Amino acid sequence: MKHLFLLLTLTLVAPLATFAQDVDFAKLLAQVDKATDFDDVDCSAVVQLKKTDPENGNSDETFAIFRRDAKSTFTILQLSPEAKKGTGYLKTGDELYTYDPTSRKFSFTSMKDSFSGSDARNSDMEKSTLAEDYQVTGSTSGTLGKFDVWILELEAVNTGVTYAKQKLWVNKANNTALKAEESSPTGRLLRTSLFPSYAKVGTKLIATRKIYVDALVTGKRTEMTISDASVKTLSDEIFTKAFLEKATN
């Protein structure tokens, strides 16, 4: 009877135990990307950036962001503060330009550069490409607060990404990233990113709050709040240099 109970238990538990190994994590990573991309529609929103810097002081900035993920392009226009109003970002293909309304000039910049001097990177403003850039080297199942999550160890498959290693907490319920610890090639933690809330826009999800914490400078962090998200079709003109030039005239 004892053996029969053990056999029964094993029969019931074994499939659950092997479940973790059966998960296709590469596919999961693609699903994480897919959950928040807007491949079939345009997306626009207002982004509020709250920078906390114990050394250089705190500041608040507001931006309007326009994304067209189908063409890997985005336009960002700074709305406040007044001194930086009109500063623009335009990504077309692999190239990212910043626009300075004072000199009325565009400069070529990198997606890996800091976004407006914050802890966010320019690359954080476009769609997620985790599946393309990383491979899963380890995984465990766990919880993050009240959420059941997959904790994935990621390593970059090319040197073109900002962070060589990541530890990613993925919500099992909807395949959204809740937290990421981003590290150097030697494994030193450089930044912790938190995505505590998402909202549904059309059929897609968008992180409405993102917190980037500098792991090297104590107390330095950036909080991003996304509001007024919309999936209305945007004019092609928005994704041109002329739009940024006209926006300040």
Binding site for other proteins (CB under 8 A): 54-55, 94-95, 97, 106-108, 110-112, 156, 158-164, 182, 184-186, 188, 190, 216-219
Residue 180 CB, nearest approach to other proteins (Å): 13
CA separation (Å) from 9 to 14, 22, 226? 8, 20, 48
Q: Give the nearer residue to other proteins in terms of CB position, either 65 or 161.
A: 161
Helix (H) or strand (E) holding 39: none
Q: Give the nearer residue to other proteins in terms of CB position, either 44 or 222.
A: 222
Residue 244 CB, nearest approach to other proteins (Å): 14
Q: Give the nearer residue to other proteins in terms of CB position, either 51 or 204.
A: 51
> Tell me, what amino acid is at 10?
L
The one-character DSSP state at 106 is E
Which tokens is 162 given?
């900002």
Sorted by sequence, the CB contacts under 8 Å of residue 241 that are 6+ apart come out as 90, 97, 99, 106
Residue 13 CB, nearest approach to other proteins (Å): 43
Residue 135 CB, nearest approach to other proteins (Å): 16
Q: Give the nearer residue to other proteins in terms of CB position, either 105 or 200.
A: 105
Residue 182 CB, nearest approach to other proteins (Å): 8
Which tokens is 176 given?
């959204």
Q: Give the nearer residue to other proteins in terms of CB position, either 142 or 185.
A: 185
Residue 100: closest CA among 109, 110, 92: 109
The one-character DSSP state at 234 is P
Cβ 63 vs Cβ 76: under 8 Å: yes
CA separation (Å) from 106 to 88, 128, 245? 9, 25, 9
Cα distance between residue 68 and residue 70, in whole Å = 6
Cβ neighbour number for residue 114 with a 10 Å cutoff: 13
Residue 159 CB, nearest approach to other proteins (Å): 4
Q: Give the nearer residue to other proteins in terms of CB position, either 128 or 183.
A: 183
